[in-house]
Amino acid sequence: MSQTPRVLIIRFSAFGDVLQSLSLIDTFKKNWPDAEVHFCTRKEFAPLVEKHPNLYRLWVLDKKTGLSGLRKLAGELKNISFTHIYDCHNNLRSRILSLYLNGVLGWRSLFRGHQFLRRPIYRWKRFLLFQFRKNTFPQPFSGQKALLEPLVKWGLSQELPKVPQLFFDSELKKQTLELLGSEIRESITLAPSAAHALKRWPLEHFKKLIEILPKEHFIVLGGPNDSFVQELEDLAPERVKNLAGKLSLIQSSVVVSASKALVSNDTGLMHVAEQTGVPCVALMGPAPFGFPSRSATKILERDLNCRPCSKHGQGPCINEVFQKCLVDIDPGEVKNALQEMGVSL
């Protein structure tokens, strides 16, 4: 390539999707070593991206600024002579930003000489899946590989870059680990929550897992509304520390990165583990997309005719046994998976 590649990656949200998109930075640098890789995301997810060593510049959108903030960001980006723009989000905001950068029908991209790609959503495949139960997606559907697939048009490799792909501010990491103490490195982290209740492995199963691992210490992560996970600490307060709602997203990510393993529902913390190389048992239930992509993560799931039942796991459950896809995953199976991955128990 005669011109120095100057690449813009657009991914505004959400937590797990931004984490998976981090692999794109090294993918561009691996294929184009001289490339300047820019990344555009929302303000609350900036700490996940800003310390990546191969990032040239981070661009941040404050969601509270609305359309005026998006227009201001677009004006700043138009002053950069990008050679390649990749909208790997494909939502309303990213389309509006792309319209500012590319012009109607892409006339501005032709004038400015940059190439543009947008990650496809595959609406027809989704229609077939949820209306006629015909799944034509790759199984399991790897979120990271789906992000890399469009880049074949630019001659880039689809091979995932090595971990880690998530990097932390050194002072933040130090403060977080000092707050929790040295035992964190010998603890198993649990992520019992999820955006939708149907994606949650039963709390009784998490309790049973704690009981069948009587020598292990556990850290429980979650959001400020996940008060139900306090039951896990109450079960064995000498071995279980509930931090749900007490840490930021980036602090929770530091905790996962320092743990000896993670047991997680289908939620963003699962992708923290895979982007930092931490062994993870992923409990996959009703949703079809965003499966982990790396060998350090062991996927546990059940092959049922009713799966998947909804795009994000919002339901409703249509099996005669409520939440059978997760209920049938036994805690002993999780223990075995941890041992198979070489986690000392």
**124 lies in the same domain as 10:** yes
Do 145 and 179 have their domain in common?
Answer: no
Contact 39, 25 (CB under 8 A): yes
- pLDDT tens sequence across 53-79: 999 999 999 999 999 999 999 999 999
Q: Are 132 and 266 part of one and the same domain? A: no
Choosing from 124, 154, 184, the residue where a domain stops is: 154
- Of how many residues is the chain composed? 345
Q: What's the confidence (pLDDT) of residue 114?
A: 82
CB 292 within 8 A of CB 301: no
In a domain, 57, yes or no: yes
Q: In this structure, are 25 and 131 located in the same domain?
A: yes
> Is 238 within the bounds of a domain?
yes
Q: Which of 129, 154, 179 is the last residue of a domain?
A: 154
**Which pair of structure tokens corresponds to residue 77?**
């980006």
For residues 338 and 261, what is the distance between their CA atoms, to the nearest angstrom? Answer: 8
List, for residues 169-178, the tens digit of each pLDDT value. Answer: 999 999 999 9
Q: Quickly state the pLDDT bin for 315 (edges 50, 70, 90).
A: confident
Number of domains in the chain: 2
So what's the pLDDT on residue 139? 85
Q: Looking at residue 113, which CATH number applies to its domain?
A: 3.40.50.2000
Higher pLDDT, 312 or 44: 44
Residue 26: which domain range? Answer: 6-154
Output phi, psi for 6, to 5 deg. Answer: -125, 105
- Chain center to CA of 98: 23
Sheet with 115-118, edge to edge strand ranges: 57-61, 36-42, 6-10, 84-87, 115-118
Instruction: Let me know whether 212 and 185 are in one domain.
Output: yes
- Are 139 and 218 contained in the same domain? no
CA atoms within 13 A on the CB side of 283: 30
Same domain, yes or no: 214 and 117: no
Which pLDDT band holds residue 104 (cuts at 50, 70, 90)?
Answer: low
Average per-residue pLDDT for the chain: 94
Round to whole Å and give the CA distance between 260 and 315: 33
Return the HEC string of the chain: CCCCCEEEEECCCCHHHHHHHCHHHHHHHHHCCCCEEEEEEEHHHHHHHCCCCCCCEEEEECHHHHHHHHHHHHHHHHCCCCCEEEECCCCHHHHHHHHHHHCHHHHHHHHHCCEEEECCCCHHHHHHHHHHCCCCCCCCCEHHHHHHHHHHHHCCCCCCCCCCCCCCCHHHHHHHHHHHCHHHHHEEEEECCCCCHHHCCCHHHHHHHHHHCCCCEEEECCCCCCHHHHHHHHHCCCCEEECCCCCCHHHHHHHHHHCCEEEEECCHHHHHHHHHCCCEEEECCCCCCCECCCCCEEEECCCCCCCCCCCCCCCCCCCCCCCHHHHCCCHHHHHHHHHHCCCCC
Specify if 27 maps to a domain: yes
Residue 72 placed within a domain = yes
pLDDT of residue 130: 85
Q: What is the pLDDT of residues 20-41, one digit of tens each?
A: 999 999 999 999 999 999 999 9
Residue-level pLDDT at 113: 66
Res 107 pLDDT > 60:
no
The pTM for the full model equals: 0.95
Q: Is residue 132 included in any domain, yes or no?
A: yes
Q: Which two tokens stand for residue 41?
A: 């995301």
Domain identity same for 177 and 150 = no
For residue 345, tell me if it sits in a domain.
no
Do residues 200 and 336 both lie within one domain? Answer: yes
Same domain assignment for residues 278 and 320: yes
Q: Assess if residue 163 is contained within a domain.
A: no
Question: What is the pLDDT, as a whole number, of residue 42?
Answer: 98
Surface-to-core class of residue 94, CB atoms within 10 Å of its CB (0-12 exposed, 13-18 middle, 19+ buried): buried
Residue type, 234: D
Give the Å distances, CA to CA, from 284 to 188, 254, 255.
Answer: 19, 23, 22
- Six-digit token string for 70: 């998006």
What is the average pLDDT across 100-121?
76
- pLDDT at position 97 over 60: yes
pLDDT tens, position by position, 322-337: 999 999 999 999 999 9
Tell me what pLDDT residue 112 has: 63
Q: Tell which of 123, 154, 185 closes a domain.
A: 154
Say what the pLDDT of residue 120 is: 93
Q: Considering the domain boundaries, does residue 160 fall inside one?
A: no
202 and 325 both lie in a single domain: yes
Instruction: Tell me the percentage of the chain whose pLDDT exceeds 90.
Output: 85
Rg, C-alpha atoms of the chain = 21
Give residue-wise pLDDT tens across range 132-159: 888 898 888 999 999 999 999 999 998 9
pLDDT tens readout for residues 189-233: 999 999 999 999 999 999 999 999 999 999 999 999 999 999 999
pLDDT tens digits along 118-138 = 999 998 988 888 888 888 988
Same domain for 109 and 19? yes
